Amino acid sequence: MAIGPTSTSIGGSLNLGQTAAQPLKLSVGQMLSVTVTKVEGNQVNFNLAGRSFTATSQQSLQAGQQLDVKVTQTKPNVILQIQPRTAPGTPQPNTQQALQTAYRQLLPNQMPINQGLQQLVQFSQTGLLPSNIQSHITSLLEQLFKPSTQTSAKELKNQLLSSGLFLENQLGKTQKPPTNDLKARLLQLLQMTQQTKASDTTEMPKLAKLLSQTLNRITLQQIQAIENPNLLNIQLPLQPNPYIDEMEIDIRRQAKETPDFWEVIVNLTLSSGELSSKLMFMNDEISLSLWADNTNLEQRVRAGLPELQASFQQAAIPLKQVFITQQKPENHPQAQKVALIDLHV
């Protein structure tokens, strides 16, 4: 594949003119990803580092296809060598079998994370726990996410990172257990429970079972993410509260056709019903649709629309439209799931 105003086919490589490539500041050995946007015969358009280029190729390519390339030459022209690519995160047969075995073993003995946290609160209120365990539970609960109108994108990212799904990934990078990771805290608490003599309190076996079931749920989510990293589904651990029971976040992107767009769906299970919102970002503008599963909740949402629009304006975020829909938001059929964070367990 060759690129540039004077493109010539070079098999499995991209030949980019020095003038066109100058803003990219490439170096030999650098690995890059390019996305094919259009194919007509042997003429190929693709995006690299936010810029559009044209190439010729004898290879069979399709719009939307992503290629890994390696910089093998920078002068006089830039040569990008196409690298073999396998599906990211696809387990090998033996690994797949081990994951399925673990999945079957964990599935009957697990509970939703936020349900486990709610029961942990109840344990802490019995007054029957040893002081060290009581203190650990109190500290753990205080660190859980408390959603509010003041929540920033950075805070939300930190909460996702500490949700327990990425513990082993972080350990592999730093060799040091993170202090606020939910799975790490639950494992520490389980160890403390197991080291406490059962004769000291009758609550220990019950607490150990609760912790194991909650940890199993996190492990199940990790297994699902390993099997299909682009279908990562996070139920964000929340500090027990009387308003929000569950929060689920889904992020997707449509890049096969123009215009490119992103969409985010957030589903909230509230004490007053289910609320779903869909945010679409396209052409540097945001469109927002909201749906409630009952009339009372819908009326509350409708009454809050002026304040919501004002918050977008104050944050200097261009809002094209915001409206209430009668049908629960669904993903665009061409949008593809986006893994929030690379996960390795």
96-146: pLDDT as tens digits: 667 667 767 777 788 888 889 989 999 989 888 899 999 999 999 988 888
Better pLDDT: 7 or 302: 302
Q: How confident is the model at residue 22 (pLDDT cuts 50, 70, 90)?
A: low
What are phi and psi for residue 88, nearest 5 degrees? Answer: -65, 135
Q: Is 2 helix (H, G, I), strand (E, B) or coil?
A: strand
Q: For the full predicted model, state whether its pTM sits above 0.85.
A: no
Say how far apart CA 171 and CA 188 lie, in whole Å: 15
Report the DSSP pairing between strands 234-235 and 78-83. unpaired
Nearest to 324 by CA among 311, 309, 312: 309
What is the per-residue pLDDT for 1? 44
In the chain the beta strands, taken as DSSP E runs, fall at: 2-3, 13-16, 31-40, 43-48, 51-56, 66-73, 78-83, 234-235, 244-254, 261-270, 273-282, 285-292, 319-324, 336-337
Q: How confident is the model at residue 345 (pLDDT cuts 50, 70, 90)?
A: very low
Compute how many other C-beta atoms are within 10 angstroms of the C-beta atom of residue 117: 21
Say how far apart CA 35 and CA 10 lie, in whole Å: 18
Say how far apart CA 169 and CA 216 lie, in whole Å: 17
Structure tokens at 138: 């109190």
Burial of 210 (0-12, 13-18, 19+ CB in 10 A): buried
Residues 6 or more apart in contact with residue 176 via CB below 8 angstroms: none
Angle subtended at Cα 271 by Cα 310 and Cα 249, rounded to the nearest 5 degrees: 60
What is the per-residue pLDDT for 2? 42
Residue entry with tokens 């938001």: 329
Say how far apart CA 46 and CA 78 lie, in whole Å: 16
What is the per-residue pLDDT for 211? 94
Average pLDDT, integer, range 52-77:
72
Q: Which of 17-26, 182-191, 266-275 has the lowest mean pLDDT?
A: 17-26
| pLDDT one-digit tens code per residue, 182-225 | 999 999 999 999 888 766 677 888 999 999 999 988 888 887 77
Name all domains of the chain by residue range, CATH numbers in brackets.
12-83 (2.40.50), 94-228 (no CATH), 255-332 (3.30.750.140)
Residue 46 CA to chain centroid, in angstroms?
26
What is the per-residue pLDDT for 28? 75
| pLDDT one-digit tens code per residue, 145-175 | 887 777 787 888 888 888 888 888 878 777 6
Q: How confident is the model at residue 275 (pLDDT cuts 50, 70, 90)?
A: very high
Structure tokens at 145: 């996410």
Query: What's 109's DSSP letter?
Result: G
